[in-house]
Amino acid sequence: MPPEQVVIVWQFSPKFNINLVAEIMGKYNASKKQPTNPYIIESWKAGSLTINLFAKKLVVQGKLDEYAREIIQEIAGLEGLILDAKNQERLAKIFPHRQNAIVCARCRTPSLLIEAKIEGLDVIFKNECGHIAEIRPPFLTLNNRILPDINVLVSRVFSRFIQLGYFLGFEIVIPQYILRVVDRFLGKGQKKAVSEELNALRQFANDNKVSILNYKDGFELPVSREQFEIEEDDKILEIAHLTNSVMITCDRNFKDKALLANRPTIYIPADILEKIKIIEEIRTPD
């Protein structure tokens, strides 16, 4: 798979020191380039990246590899650089998605550890990236786990979304509870649909488009279909809490339960499922 292309644009705040960019370029032995237009003050080439310095902004673009990630992270840590929402999202996607990691407010690198240190008569807290963490609420954390409920698996809508380019890079939680109750209590047609959906998701995982967490929840199998229907929503919501997953459902009642339980939820109304199927067939024909 060819390296991903990236473009990040930072704006300058009044306290930004423009000379710090040149220092980083020197650190990484970047070579100076002839500016391609009169608005570029200085231009460098560092590995696969081109770095253009304008009067009020800094633009980094090129192929994304590990060397490029290192340079971008160093630039992102400079004080006085500002990102709009669009460029914040681009920057966040560059770094590994670590479940529940706390995002550095300066360089957007995720950290699982914040460590307290003594500097003189002060206590400071540092992220893994080395930047000081402002220990004030709220923390911005990452969540890349999605838990589809049974109706989503039966509808096969999740794999269609992935085929259309959504949910790429997420970790899909497939609990043992769901696998066991599907096998025990669903009809032949529904079992087949779930089996085909799981096979499609495994193929996407093999292609590194998503990952799959086979979660060993340890829940006992319901003794009857009646018990299964009574407890299904509560059990799946409990698994979502245990795994800190975002729910995805086509069931309006389940959506309402999840929201009452303060569980982030993606709701796909059942009446648009057929339209999603048609869109997927038109946009990604065999």
Domains and CATH numbers, the chain: 4-94 (3.30.310.10), 98-142 (no CATH), 145-283 (3.40.50.1010)
Q: Given a cut of 80, is residue 27 above it in pLDDT? A: yes
Give pLDDT, residue 3.
63
Give CA–CA dist 40/32, Å, rounded.
Answer: 12
**21 phi/psi in degrees, rounded to 5:** -65, -45
Q: Given a cut of 60, is residue 171 above it in pLDDT? A: yes
Mean pLDDT of 184-196: 96
Q: Given a cut of 80, is residue 96 above it in pLDDT? A: no
Give pLDDT, residue 94.
84
Element (H, E) at 248: strand 246-249
Confidence category of residue 129, pLDDT binned at 50, 70, 90: confident
Q: Given a cut of 70, is residue 194 above it in pLDDT? A: yes
Give pLDDT, residue 108.
77
Give pLDDT, residue 284.
86
- Contact predicate 30/103, CB 8 Å: no
Gyration radius of the chain over CA positions: 24
Ranges 25-39, 86-100, 147-161: which has the least confidence: 86-100
Using alpha carbons only, give the angle 242, 248, 254 rounded to the nearest 5 degrees.
Answer: 85
Confidence category of residue 9, pLDDT binned at 50, 70, 90: very high
Q: Given a cut of 90, is residue 178 above it in pLDDT? A: yes
How high does pLDDT run on average in the chain?
92
Q: Given a cut of 60, is residue 228 above it in pLDDT? A: yes
Q: Identify whether 138 is preceded by a cis peptide bond (ω within 30 of 0).
A: yes
Give CA–CA dist 195/204, Å, rounded.
Answer: 14
Exposed, middle or buried by CB within 10 Å (0-12, 13-18, 19+), for 165?
A: exposed
Give pLDDT, residue 92.
80
What are the C-alpha distances in Å from 245 to residues 11, 194, 219? 34, 20, 17
Q: Identify whether 35 is preceded by a cis peptide bond (ω within 30 of 0).
A: no
Give pLDDT, residue 2.
57
- Contact predicate 266/121, CB 8 Å: no
* Residue 197 CB coordination number (10 Å): 20
Mean pLDDT of 19-35: 94
What are the C-alpha distances in Å from 272 to residues 15, 65, 172, 268? 50, 39, 22, 7
High-pLDDT (> 90) share of the chain, %: 74
Confidence category of residue 95, pLDDT binned at 50, 70, 90: confident
- Nearest to 88, CA basis, from 71, 113, 105: 105
Give CA–CA dist 123/224, Å, rounded.
Answer: 58
Which two tokens mark 1?
A: 């798979």
Give CA–CA dist 109/140, Å, rounded.
Answer: 11
pTM of the model: 0.77
DSSP state of 244: T
- Contact predicate 33/43, CB 8 Å: yes
Give pLDDT, residue 246.
97
Ranges 18-27, 126-135, 227-236: which has the least confidence: 126-135
- Nearest to 158, CA basis, from 148, 173, 143, 171: 148
- Contact predicate 58/51, CB 8 Å: yes
- Contact predicate 184/221, CB 8 Å: yes
